[in-house]
Structure 1
Amino acid sequence: ISTTRRDFQYNVGVCGEATAAFFAPEIQCTSLTVQFLNESQGGQDYIWYFNDPANPGATSTEENPAYTYADTGLYTVTLIADPAGNCRDTFERTIHLLPASLVADFSYEATGCSDTLWVQFTDLSTDAVSTPVEWTWTVNPGGFVFHEQHPLIPLTKKGTASVGLLVTAANGCQVYKSVNIPVNLIDDLFPAEPVIICPGDEANLNPVFNPDYTYNWSPAAGLDDPGSPNPLASPDESTVYQVTVTDPGSECVLETQVAVIVPPYPDLLPEDSVTCSPEVSLGLHLPGFQQVSWATNPGFNPLLGTGPDILVSPLGYQQYYVRGFDEFRCPVIDSIGITGNGVNLKANEPDIICLGANAVLSVANQDPQDTLTYQWSPSGPILSSLGYAVVVKPQTPGEQLFTVTATNQFGCSVTDSILLAVIDTGPQEATFTEVQCAGYEVMFNTTSVNGPFYIWAFGDPEDPDARAEGADASHTYPGPGTYQVMIYLSEEAPCRDTIFRTVNLGEPAFMADFTWEITHCSDSVQIAFHDASQSGPGGITGWNWDLDNGVQAQSPDTSIVLTAGQNLEVSLALENADGCRDTARQVIPVNLIQLTLADTLANCNGNGVALNPGGDPDLVYVWSPAAGLDDPSSPNPVATPDVPTGYEVMVSDSAGLCSIMRSTYVNIPPSISYELAQDGVICEEDFLLFALSNQDLAVTWATDPEFQSVLGTGDSLPVQAVKELNPYFVRLTDPFGCSVEDSLVILNRGIKLEVDGVTICVGDTARLTAVNLSNFVPMYQWGPAEAILEGQGSASVLVSPPATSDISLHVSNEFGCVLDTLVEVNVFNFRPPLA
């Protein structure tokens, strides 16, 4: 038996996870040279295999090589990371090189010059190998994008618009072309509303005009200069003026119109008239006039009065003028002539005589042009008559009314009257009475015909000058006791008389009072009121309840129902059989349970919702169902139900007298879903923010997370991202009041630089320097290449052109932003003579 043994040795190394990867375009159409970008991780050395049949051994060990293929075609490129190491990794990618057969081209035609320039674009792109299938048009400023093949694009910002077309062919090739379009718009600054010109006035039609434009107005009627930018208009009637505005610099033409309203001049007053009435009321026929004034002369000085109506007293013929301002603030003046044939009579003042005496009654004719006849009545007391005056001797005491009718030569008449008071000189003591009312108030009365002329002196030692006049009087004394009252005739009476009355006052037996009680309380409160007054010996004959909410009642007891808390003012006015009156007043505090719940609430994102913010902790709450509530007895519980739920609450006061029931419904809205514009890098300042959703959302944009600086609203919003770092915040709110907030950041990496042209003499050199105004280092390419003496690829180059020419500058940066500009070098072709 034999034994054979073999030993094997394995070398195990620790690999660092090298991963091979690179970027190259899957499809390239513009060049046969492909730039490869190494995206490997963990590798140190690399080898590339380009698999070019025309150059089978083509490889590279550069990290980021560029390789030029011999022809178009489909190629598989292989990258091996760390090819000599134990942890090598291989990555392959197929690239497709296509011929540069796609040519982007288009034409355009612009129309309109007012507030919008409409540009019709026509795609003229061609491809000899494939077929154009997609078109992306971009418009700046604005950042607007269109995908039609032949779009109609509105341009609304004056200046220059950059329009670019990115064409994509069916084989994946893309070509871009852009043009700059001048946007010349005529500013339409004409009045939006009609111009109001009062009759006889004038006004300018275009105060805010552009002196660089030419204007042509029609019709010419009513204009001082139809070719003026701002003509002075004074038409006789309302007119619509057509105006053609031309910009000589752009040959842009705007046709528009300005309406002029000339208000009509209406009649405000009726035709002239003749009247017998001594007073005539004048008023406007038409409503709507302001600042109306009246006068008897067209200068309106002095004024008779103001307002739409006036009362006048014409004597003979009188012309009256009225002036008012219509709805357009235009003055309108009218007049009316009134012939006043009425009788203008003035009677003498009322008189007082003693029974058995004579009196003279007379009237005066105020119009000396009138011839009047008079008729007096009653005729019995008349002793003699002169027409305008009579002598009378009444046979009975008391007030007697005499009337007189005066008629003039036009048949117009007027009736007037004179009151004659006849004093009764007989004994009057039996006509007086007095009665004690509420408290220490005494009511005095006399039935004497002399009553209107009596003066009462109440004999109050604390108020000795207390007086009253007439047949009825009252006075409140300081307390019980005996008081001497003196009654005498006024000084107007020709015959004097004095009467004394003794008044004995005791404690009051008549006083108003009432009680109240709450009989029902829920959503409303019912209060009952009961009379608790002292009636006095005569008994109460009338009750009058007055509540400050307008409720009144005339019974001993009443009640009221209130639906809101308040301080209720209540008064009870009484009258007894003696004619005494008294009033009791109270202010009653009424406190109702006030609770208003929202019909529907929303449990947004499961965060819970308060059912009764501001709930009263002094009340008792019982909520049901308890499921989903943090505290069913809280004034303001937080509800977090799993499904839509209706909640009811019983609310009571601490005494249990008042209680109400209310309900609310908690909905669970769907989560807010949306698509927000992404964080990104832009080269232009104009950017379109958008937040798109299939839900009905209110969208608000701001530049701060507290939404103090709101930019605008809507699901899309054009903005200018002028800063290098531009944060934007968005709030989306659904119809239930739920909202979410999000944000994005836009980095502006646009190229900003300054470069000035120069002037040199022929044969000299000039240095052109581009000043970078951004914080990022760009790459420079000057052209034409043969004109650059030194510095190509830098911000500063040396040139010496033989004649005036433009030096092109192509600037790009690492973010893909590009700027192309021209720098003029002006060459002065002059050599000074040699000395």
Structure 2
Amino acid sequence: MRIIRLLFLMFSFCPLILNATHLIGGEVVYTCLGGNQYEIKVIIYRDCGPTNTNGTGFDGEGVITIYNANNNEVFVLQHGVAEEEFVVDEFTDECLTLPPDLCVEKGTFTVIANLPNNGQGYKVVYQRCCRNEQVVNIDEPQDFGSSLVALIPPISGPACNNSPSFDSFPPLALCLGSDVSVSQSASDVDGDSLVYSLVSPFHGSSNFDPTGTYPPPYDQLPWADGYSEEYPMDSNPVLSIDSNSGLITGTPTQEGFYVIGIKVEEYRNGVYLGEILRDFRFLVVDCEIATAAVPIADVYCDGLDVVFDNQSENAFDYFWDFGDLTSETDNSTENSPIYVYPDSGTYTVTLIANPGSFCTDTSLVTFSLYPNVYPSFSLPPTDCEEGALYDFEGSGIIPEDGDFTWDFGVNAVTQFSNEISPQNISFTSDGTQQISFTVSYLDCEETFEKDFLISTNDLTSISSTAYELCEPQLVTLTPTISTTSNLIYDWDLGNGESSNVANPVVSYEPGVYDVSLSVLNTETGCESSISEETWISVYPQPEVVFQSSILSGCEPLLVNFTSQSTNTDDYQWTVNGQIVGSVENLTYTFDEGDYDVVLTASNDYFCSQDDVFSAEIISLPVVNADFELTYECNEDLEITINDNSESYTDLSWDFGNGEEPTSGLLSSFSYAEEGDYTIVLTASNPAACNTLNTYTSSIAVPAPPVVDFSTLPVADCEVGLVQYQNLSFVSSYDDVLSWSWDFGDGSTSSEFASSHEYVDQGQYNVSLTLETELGCDAFLADNISVGFLQKPQASFTYTIDSCSRKVTFMNQSELSDSYIWDLNGLASDEVNPSMFFEVGNSYAINLIASNEFCSDELSLEIDYSAENYYENVYVPNVITPNGDFINDQFFIPGLNECESAILRIYNRWGDEVYYSIDPNSEPWTGVNYSNELLEGVYFFILELKYMSITGDVSIFR
């Protein structure tokens, strides 16, 4: 029975690793109860799964804070335990399974507040920390909390306002790469118009005080690189919200957690009332779409019973149609059904996974079905004769009108045959031959194979690891055979012994030997044999021995070696592995030490042996004079001697100072004066191989250095500058390695002669240290008094009369009594000079302030361009002429009284609707000759003396 494996694949996403704190999102809404009473609800969504690592739940108690329009705290409302419920996700894709550990719980805090009408309105605020640390679109999200804000407008009529309320919570997860269509609409019981937008959520409490509160305004969350209000999520098309319907669309392109803010503004008759903000977190996951596949061959030749092996993944229901057109019941709903077809033929099989559901997938496969074909044959018995002929007969389950192909292998005289029972088949070589019999019928083809052992002469030759050898060398005998199994060996080793192993190892006495082998193949019954005469020759070994003469004396020591070997013809001598001669008797010169002397002798049969002699060559002592000198600076000019001489009986020292030599073992010597000296040591021993030996060494002996310094007068106005003069002494027999100044205020220098600028006046302990190449050092410290000259500080400010353009400079210099001004090329020595500027130019101003000793300079570049001249002019872009006396007029702050300004305003068709030569005395109020203009955008031209300003202004009523 052939098993058809049908693979129906349905993939789900790989769950993300969630490492987070508890806060997911929330919003604040309110309902007007009448009589200044409001029901305020704070809705919080928290992580209730294992990713809430600190197990934070809803607060058992907390506060909701009410602020007025000036952000002053007016009420603090205590809330109690939240009303809790688990969020059941309304998922965007039926084929997606949420991560099993994903858990979101909704908590609602409700309070009743009495908020009297204050004419300004209120801000309702709830603050909490902290967010999930894996949020990708916020920098350091675990450090930021949330400020949920709702705006309550002032009461302007008999009824108070109700905030909008969101109709549903967004789905907890979105599919990567799938189009998003998420409604975030809200309802307003007052029937107000609602406008939706994506915004940056507000930051709230922190890790240090998770429930702490503070007044508005609130910072927005810091977007990570690449993210913003306009691009809060990796998406293409970009995630956006319809301002009228609240429908969010886009296609996510990257997995992860994303924090998004949705603002809902309410308008009544075109007038803004208030707003609420939803702060929430999306999870984007990889939702792979379910697929079905049937890995099945085109043709099957194993009968009519077919088992279908269903390998679908993530499917829960199936429908099979087996494509049997002769039956109306050729279907099944089993997972892996069996179907018996009525006859061979071509069939199309259909598998539907999850039929009737949104997550359905269909796979169709067409294949041909034929009867069984099973060829077979039996092997003929092996014939041990050369050129034997064999007959073969095909059998098994084979159609009479099928096609037959025999393949007897490349060693067959006739390799191929199309007969069902070919005869007289012969082979050119022994060994295992692979025989195959193939039967083809319709589109089916089956092959049957067997190995056939051909054996006529299994044994072809024998070999040995050596044919001429010296005793007692071992040899290994090896047969060359065509097969290695089912064999019996019979060796005649020629020395009266036999062996039945395949590769015997033999030890022969000196002589000549004949060897033979017989091999019996127990599988085929064939036997073969080989004999080799005078095949192995074994020769005797020589006897090698030698003696040596004396082994002690003064090196180099001459030693004679005499060979006493027998049955030898050739000689080779080695000393410590080095070949030193090929004579029978060796003479060799040694130094003191240990040696291995080897004599290798061989005979005419190239057999060789060794004799080894280990010798210890002992030499008489050798006198060696040796010493080391060191000098460390000292007043006595004393040197230190380390004597390393060997094998001496007497020592004589010549210290190179012109005095008589000194005898004996010395450890030190003092010179009368500094200098370079050469010292000679003579060591002697009358009983040594050498009676005398000398050693010479030189040394410099400098006098110790002396440090001294003084200060020099400074004819400069640099405050606190002191110049130091180095008066130190260093011997000519030594060189300075380093100088080190310490100026007493934490500053240092490594220069020979140095200067230093002090910050403060006073007494300083100054020191100088030197080190020399020969290791000498010296130190001196002295107290230095430092006083300062007074240096001026140049400084000035200026004022500009915008009407007259007169510039007045105010001199604010210190410690000075004379001044030189350069006013853009004009010179002045006044204390506070003045000049006139022209608009559009830049002016370079320079001041030099001086006293009796010093001066200081300050330069300034003043840009008097038209843009800077009018930098305080501000043209508004919105007026609201609705009679509330707030922003009812188009007033332009910053215009000078002396400015002759002309203002023109045009509608969208280019019609002039306003003209004035004094726009601030008679500001525009959104009318055209007393006719109230429609809301919309208008364009203005403001002509000033030195430039023109253009732009647009909007009317809102």
Identify the structure with bigger relative contact order (alpha carbons < 8 Å, sequence gap 6+). Answer: 2
Q: Same fold (TM over 0.5)?
A: no
Q: Which TM-score band (shorter chain)? A: under 0.3
